[in-house]
């Protein structure tokens, strides 16, 4: 009877994961979907602790440790989630993803200790699952920690001499070691050598990848963690763990493929080519013109107020300045003056998938105003003004015009087709890919220098007076 109740609980939890993931596809239902999935996870945890085993004298200490861990983890997670700024959300995603990979690796380590006493002969499928869980979980953990450090600005891009060759040799050694343990006697020494190689490989795997590719890396590592969790589900015959891992793994894989398609690059090219990994160079400009033209707050206000169609392109600079609420205030003010305002969203803008969508949703920007790149690009030629706030690489015409550019071939928001372009930036610094933006020097482009939030606040006051 208890086994049936446990299976039913896991089934309910699995259904909540599926429903929650479906609801995450739209901002209006995303918050509720997240809560539903979290409730399903709570059901699975409570059912495992109360139904799977009976309390007895020998297990009181174990349960005390388990509940202590739950309490400590809940407190730490809640505090981190409450205090995190939107600009640091990518780092938190990488950190939590790394913790998931570490848990999967620990499961493999613990189960391997029990497995050493088994008497399985021939091909050992359970050992294969443990080795794969250890490998993928370890790579996800160390890779996510490097991604966290790079997003936090504490780790710079580093490309070792013959980095790709070293990675291929390490990967080959890992494969050989796994095969050897499957068909020969597996020893703890070999198992922990595999652990060490996987951790080092995760570091070398992520270290050379440039900043502009970081959203793809995050989604890929997320899929790794999901796969590792699914292997844990196989080991424990836990349907909830298996379903959750498969959902995370498949969703992360699909998202990685979609983002690669949006960048017009293969996953191999992302991992080996690395946008922004030390790339740098001057912008070509237009006809050799290297003069950036400025515009004042008052002139910008007049231009916006008497436009019919305005498009706002948000970027990471908007997140850093925490200017999304001020931007939304300006948008509403322009709408009151009869100006049509939309937001152009590039799929890899920001530091993680969907970063700009989440940022604008936090400021209560209507979802229908957020236009994806494929939808907004054909309409940019009709825009009276495009306002670029903190974005750089995703609007750089070099991606179309300069075959020597490291971002050549990446689809961009074609803001250079608009009648007027105003770029809000602190200065003339290069983008995250490490190259200058030739759009800055186009005759139709005007630079509005300053902190995004402060500039938007002043611009909003000026628009009120027009």
Please list the active-site residues: 393
Residue (of 150, 158, 102, 202) closest to 352 by Cα position: 150
CA 4 to chain centre: 38
Residue (of 370, 300, 311, 373) closest to 339 by Cα position: 311
Rounded CA gap, 373 and 56, in Å? Answer: 59
Rounded CA gap, 411 and 419, in Å? Answer: 20
Residues in a beta bridge with 195? none
Burial of 15 per CB tally in 10 Å (0-12, 13-18, 19+): middle
Burial of 337 per CB tally in 10 Å (0-12, 13-18, 19+): middle
At 254 the three-state DSSP class reads helix
Residues in a beta bridge with 50? none
Q: What is the DSSP letter of 210?
A: -
Rounded CA gap, 159 and 276, in Å? Answer: 12
């Amino acid at each position: 009877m208890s086994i049936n109740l446990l299976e039913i609980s896991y089934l309910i939890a699995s259904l909540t994961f599926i429903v929650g993931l479906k609801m995450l596809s739209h901002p209006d239902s995303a918050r509720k979907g997240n809560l539903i999935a979290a409730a399903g996870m709570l059901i699975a945890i409570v059912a495992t602790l109360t139904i799977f085993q009976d309390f007895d004298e020998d297990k009181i200490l174990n349960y005390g440790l388990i509940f202590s861990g739950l309490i400590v983890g809940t407190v730490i997670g809640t505090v981190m989630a409450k205090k995190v700024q939107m600009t640091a959300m990518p780092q938190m995603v990488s950190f939590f993803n790394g913790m998931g990979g570490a848990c999967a690796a620990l499961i493999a380590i613990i189960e391997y200790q029990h497995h050493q006493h088994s008497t399985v002969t021939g091909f050992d499928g359970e050992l294969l699952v443990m080795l794969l869980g250890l490998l993928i979980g370890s790579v996800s953990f160390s890779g996510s920690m490097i991604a966290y450090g790079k997003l936090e600005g504490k780790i710079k891009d580093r490309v070792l001499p013959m980095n790709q060759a070293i990675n291929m040799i390490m990967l080959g050694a890992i494969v050989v070691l796994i095969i050897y343990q499957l068909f020969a006697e597996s020893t703890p020494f070999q198992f922990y050598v595999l652990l060490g190689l996987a951790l080092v490989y995760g570091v070398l795997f992520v270290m050379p990848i440039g900043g502009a590719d970081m959203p793809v890396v995050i989604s890929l590592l997320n899929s790794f963690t999901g796969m590792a969790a699914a292997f844990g589900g196989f080991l424990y015959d836990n349907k909830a763990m298996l379903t959750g891992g498969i959902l995370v793994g498949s969703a992360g894989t699909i998202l990685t493929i979609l983002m690669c398609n949006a960048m017009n690059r293969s996953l191999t090219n992302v991992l080996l080519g690395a946008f922004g990994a030390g790339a740098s160079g001057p912008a070509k400009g237009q006809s050799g013109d290297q003069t950036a033209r400025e515009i004042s707050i008052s002139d910008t206000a007049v231009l916006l107020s008497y436009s019919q169609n305005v498009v706002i392109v948000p970027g990471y600079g908007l997140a850093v300045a925490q200017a999304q609420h001020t931007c939304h205030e300006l948008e509403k003010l322009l709408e009151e003056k009869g100006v049509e305002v939309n937001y152009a969203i590039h799929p890899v803008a920001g530091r993680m998938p969907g970063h700009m969508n989440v940022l604008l949703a936090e400021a209560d920007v209507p979802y229908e105003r957020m236009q994806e790149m494929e939808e907004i690009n054909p309409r940019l030629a009709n825009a009276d003004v495009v306002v670029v706030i903190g974005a750089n690489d995703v609007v750089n015409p070099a991606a179309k015009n300069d075959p020597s550019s490291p971002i050549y071939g990446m689809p961009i928001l074609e803001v250079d087709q608009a009648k007027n372009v105003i770029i809000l930036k602190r200065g003339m610094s290069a983008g995250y890919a490490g190259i200058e933006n030739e759009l800055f020097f186009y005759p139709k482009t005007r630079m509005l220098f300053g902190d995004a939030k402060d500039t938007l606040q002043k611009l909003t006051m000026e628009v009120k007076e027009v």
